[in-house]
Amino acid sequence: MLVLSRKPGEEIKIGNSITITIIGFERGVARIGIQAPKDVQVHRKEIHDKIINLNKLSASTNINDFKNFVKKQNLNNPMKN
């Protein structure tokens, strides 16, 4: 892990397309700004972990259970609702 010290207003570059700017510090909390291309996902770690867990759950869903759920919900024909 690379550890850097930065002051508010200073930046960190990752490659040519990602810039992290130190916005400031308040009550022991660092505020940062991240500029990245739209195709680069940027999430807080806790959100990233939730996405990973939901993807794993989706991948482990039984296809027949899903088909039965869709039938019960009339999702095949939304105009019937």
CB 8 within 8 A of CB 23: yes
Identify the pLDDT of residue 23.
Answer: 97
| H-state helical runs in the chain | 45-59, 63-73
Reference 66, options 56, 58, 54; nearest CA is 58
pLDDT average per 10 residues of sequence, the chain (81 residues): 95 97 94 96 94 88 82 63 49
CB 14 within 8 A of CB 21: no
pTM: 0.65
d(CA 8, CA 58): 41
